[in-house]
């Protein structure tokens, strides 16, 4: 089967590609490189020219005056320049209804070409989109990724990339994609919750993980506990990193001789994945209901991870709380209490981290996950 993966967030399509290749598919990954994360792609559509100085200053000036990012035009041009490379695929899987992040009207023209010149097109529910953000706005869930903005509107600049999906242009683009695609597949529980009652929804398939690229190092009890906290500044409040930062201040005061805290900010994927090798505990995010890639890859490497593990996720996989990872909540005292426990009981870090690796091997192995996608495509 000849497959085009269109777009990239968090390394999802890189690892799905690995799994599809193991199932003897011919796979092309065409995308931008997800900003500073700089993921590998087969066809790079990034508008890198306008990101270099002095052209970036011109770009920023145009954006301030018009709210229009000229990088989108560059990406649009890059696509049409090589449009013949995006035809005659058996299956195209879109990472999102807005896979290249250009402009809704430009994106529609690109996707119209994709739909017209390929056999089947499916949509992955992954990342922010019209359906997901509107679900969050109406949600009665205990917390969502929009909570910090709802409580403090001065944080609006941190949420512009999410808020934009409530606009009519994105609603129209979303409806266009849904009407033309064969079906929608959620990439984790958070998106399953948003899409499960929607048109053309097929179901949830867990994220694939390429385990051979993630060396498992068995944990050992140590005198000092190393805690890693990686931050994407743009998503600082959206992911709830501020709760971790406040909790870590208290932990550092209480255990100055027992804890080492290592914090990074806005580093590439390659640097990030190697930066927590020596860590015992990895802090991911507090507003999610299941795990994204940072959490899953950390679990695969044998770390005790604080991330999403709410009841919806526990029930789906039929597992007990605090046996594979720790459910992180937007509550500083709760986070301090949990961290305090593991600092005092390092043997539990070893136990849970070992369980975590086994879980990822069982539920997220890339070849097995890719086979689930192929069954949907057929």
**Three-state SS annotation for 232-250:** CHHHCCCCCHHHHHHHHHH
Beta strand residue intervals within 179-237, DSSP E: 184-186, 201-204, 225-231
Sort strands 304-307 and 201-204 into parallel, antiparallel or unpaired: unpaired
At 311, list the tokens: 């009841």
- From first to last of its 378 residues, the chain has per-residue pLDDT tens of 999 999 998 899 999 999 999 999 999 999 987 666 778 999 999 866 545 556 555 556 655 555 556 677 889 999 999 999 999 999 999 999 999 999 999 999 999 999 999 999 999 999 999 999 999 999 989 999 999 999 999 999 999 999 999 999 999 999 999 999 999 999 999 999 999 999 899 999 999 999 999 999 888 777 899 999 999 888 999 999 999 999 999 999 999 999 999 999 888 777 887 888 889 999 999 999 999 999 999 999 999 999 999 999 999 999 999 999 999 999 999 999 999 999 999 999 999 999 999 999 999 999 999 999 999 999
Q: From edge to edge, which strands make up the β-sheet containing 326-327?
A: 259-265, 225-231, 281-283, 304-307, 326-327
Taking the CB of residue 53, how many other CB atoms lie within 10 A of it?
8
Give the whole-angstrom CA distance, residue 329 versus residue 229.
15
Q: Out of 3.40.50, 3.30.1910, 3.10.450, 1.25.40, which CATH number does the structure's domain 2-205 have?
A: 3.40.50
The per-residue pLDDT for 222 is 72
The per-residue pLDDT for 217 is 86
Q: Give kind and range of the element (H or E) at residue 131.
A: helix 130-138
- Per the CB < 8 A criterion, the answer to whether 29 and 17 are in contact is yes
Q: Give kind and range of the element (H or E) at residue 5.
A: strand 2-6
Domain ranges in the chain? 2-205, 212-363
In sequence order, the 6+-apart residues with CB closer than 8 A to the CB of 214 are 273, 297, 300, 301
Tokens 């990724």 locate to 145
Q: How big is the chain, counted in residues?
A: 378
Tokens 């500083």 locate to 332
Give the whole-angstrom CA distance, residue 174 versus residue 220.
48
Q: Out of 3.50.50.60, 1.20.1180.10, 3.40.50.300, 3.40.50.2000, which CATH number does the structure's domain 212-363 have?
A: 3.40.50.2000
Give the whole-angstrom CA distance, residue 291 versus residue 328.
11
In sequence order, the 6+-apart residues with CB closer than 8 A to the CB of 359 are 299, 317, 319, 324
The per-residue pLDDT for 46 is 82
Asked if the domains 2-205 and 212-363 are classified in one and the same CATH topology, the answer is yes
The per-residue pLDDT for 274 is 80
At residue 278, φ and ψ (nearest 5 deg) are -90, 0
In sequence order, the 6+-apart residues with CB closer than 8 A to the CB of 350 are 218, 219, 220, 221
The per-residue pLDDT for 354 is 96
Beta strand residue intervals within 95-151, DSSP E: 120-125
In sequence order, the 6+-apart residues with CB closer than 8 A to the CB of 134 are 165, 166
At 63, list the tokens: 């954006």
Taking the CB of residue 333, how many other CB atoms lie within 10 A of it?
11
């Amino acid at each position: 089967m000849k497959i085009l993966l269109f777009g990239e967030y968090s390394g999802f399509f890189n690892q799905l590609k690995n799994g599809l290749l193991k199932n003897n598919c011919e796979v092309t990954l065409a995308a931008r490189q997800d900003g500073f994360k700089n993921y590998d792609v087969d066809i790079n559509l990034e508008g890198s020219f306008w990101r270099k100085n002095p052209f970036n200053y011109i770009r920023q000036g145009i954006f301030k005056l018009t709210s229009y990012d000229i990088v989108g035009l560059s990406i649009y041009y890059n696509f049409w320049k090589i449009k013949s490379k995006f035809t005659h695929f058996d299956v195209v899987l879109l990472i999102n209804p807005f896979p290249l992040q250009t402009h809704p009207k430009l994106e529609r023209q690109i996707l119209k070409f994709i739909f017209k010149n390929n056999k089947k097109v499916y949509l992955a529910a992954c990342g922010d989109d019209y359906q997901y953000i509107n679900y969050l706005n109406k949600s009665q869930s205990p917390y969502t990724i929009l909570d910090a903005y709802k409580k403090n509107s001065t944080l609006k600049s941190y949420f512009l990339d999410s808020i934009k999906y409530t606009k009519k242009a994105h609603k129209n683009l979303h409806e266009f994609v849904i009407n033309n695609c064969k079906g929608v597949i959620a990439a984790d529980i958070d998106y399953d919750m948003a899409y499960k009652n929607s048109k053309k929804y097929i179901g949830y398939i867990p994220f694939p993980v390429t385990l051979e690229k993630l060396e498992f190092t068995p944990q050992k009890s140590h005198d000092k506990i190393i805690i890693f906290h990686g931050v994407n500044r743009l998503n600082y409040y959206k992911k709830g990193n501020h709760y971790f930062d406040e909790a870590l201040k208290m932990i550092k005061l209480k255990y100055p001789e027992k804890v080492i805290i290592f914090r990074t900010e806005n580093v590439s994927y390659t640097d990030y994945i190697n930066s927590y090798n020596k860590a015992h505990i990895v802090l991911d995010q507090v507003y999610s209901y299941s795990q994204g890639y940072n959490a899953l890859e950390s679990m695969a490497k044998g770390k005790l991870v604080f991330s999403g593990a709410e009841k919806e996720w526990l029930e789906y996989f039929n597992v007990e709380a605090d046996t594979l990872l720790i459910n992180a909540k937007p509550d500083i005292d709760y986070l301090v209490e949990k961290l305090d426990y593991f600092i005092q009981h390092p043997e539990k870090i070893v136990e849970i981290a070992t369980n975590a690796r086994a879980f990822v091997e069982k539920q997220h192995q890339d070849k097995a996950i890719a086979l689930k996608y192929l069954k949907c495509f057929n």
